[in-house]
Amino acid sequence: ARLDPAARPLAGKRAIVTSGPTHEPIDPVRYIANRSSGKQGHAIAAALAAAGAEVTLVTGPTREPDPAGVTVKHIETAREMLAGVEAALPADIAVFAAAVADWRVAEEAGQKLKKDGSGQIPSLSMTENPDILKTVSGLGGTRPSLVVGFAAETEMVVAHATEKRARKGCDWILANDVSPATGTFGGEANTIHLITGAGSEDWPKLTKKEVAEKLATRIVEHFSA
Ligand code: CTP
Ligand code: CA
């Protein structure tokens, strides 16, 4: 079934989407980041808004413009992303497309780290960031009825993503094959397998915009079933 955005099939539904990388500070001038472009998350926010949903996009720093018709919250760290998502609840749909940093520096230095002349090299002690997908999947009364995560995998993509779906407690996982040969990170196309409670389905190689539109179509079908 093709999605007819003119019919606004998600009108009255609220959606939260995360996108982009997070930036985790080391000191006032340095941070740890990753290569996420935000293209997939932003496209999903745009597709859900085009289908009529009221969308809040919580995004780390990207080069993508704010999608039209979407409320956009710009954050930097994983902790800020979690707070932004929690502030946007309640919602019917949550799609977590952000490449959240798994770890942050345990103690951000208040001043720029300096070479002290002795040749001593600083070592960074890390701590784990909150898992936004797992936190929202485990909510009680305010849990969105459809929680969708991504799984970036480089090998055994469906097996790892199926295990990840169970571990996170989400409803669907879009398993994205990011092995270097696919050119996914920062590129235009994604190779997706959709994992649901009913099993897995392989999608053809699609642009990120096409993935977003196909996901929006599947979400419309889910709510009209
Ligand atoms: N995610 C999140 N918060 C985190 C880490 C991940 O919300 N702190 C979300 C991502 O947005 C994605 C899903 O969890 O939707 C899976 O991310 P991924 O990095 O593939 O999974 P991890 O559990 O972090 O496992 P690993 O990186 O070790 O594969
Ligand atoms: Ca991770």
Ligand 1 center from residue 181 Cα (angstroms): 21
How much is the pLDDT for 116?
Answer: 85
Local structure of residue 181 (DSSP, 8 states)? G
Instruction: Pick the more confident residue, 154 or 15.
Output: 15
CA dihedral sign of residues 195, 196, 201, 204: negative
DSSP 205: P
Is 164 annotated as a binding-site member? yes
User: What single string gives the DSSP state of each residue in 94-140?
Assistant: EEE--B--SEEESS--SS-----SS-------EEEPP-HHHHHHT-S
- β-sheet bridge partners, residue 25: 31
CB 55 within 8 A of CB 144: no
Calculate ∠ Cα 168-138-195, nearest 5°: 35
172-11-189-203 Cα dihedral, nearest 10 degrees: 50
Q: What is the pLDDT of residues 119-133, one digit of tens each?
A: 989 899 999 999 999
CB of 132 shorter than 6 A to ligand 1: yes
State the chain's mean pLDDT as an integer: 94
- State the pTM of this model: 0.95
Direct distance between the N- and C-terminal alpha carbons of the chain, in angstroms, rounded to an integer: 13
Structure confidence at residue 155 as a pLDDT band (50, 70, 90): very high
Q: Per-residue pLDDT averaged across 6-13, rounded?
A: 94
- pLDDT band, residue 64 (cuts 50/70/90): very high
Task: Give me 26's structure tokens.
Answer: 């080391």
Q: Catalogue the active-site residues.
A: 34
CA distance 198 to 157: 17
37 φ, ψ (degrees, to nearest 5) = -90, -20
Residue 1, pLDDT > 60, answer no
Ligand nearest to the CA of 178: 1
What is the arithmetic mean of pLDDT over 146-150? 98
pLDDT on residue 2: 64
| Contact yes or no for 40/16 (Cβ under 8 A) | no
Here the ipTM equals: 0.98
133 marked as part of a ligand binding site: yes
For the chain, give the number of residues.
Answer: 225
- DSSP conformation class of 70: -
**Residues 168-215: tens digit of each pLDDT:** 999 999 999 888 777 666 667 889 999 999 999 999 999 999 999 999
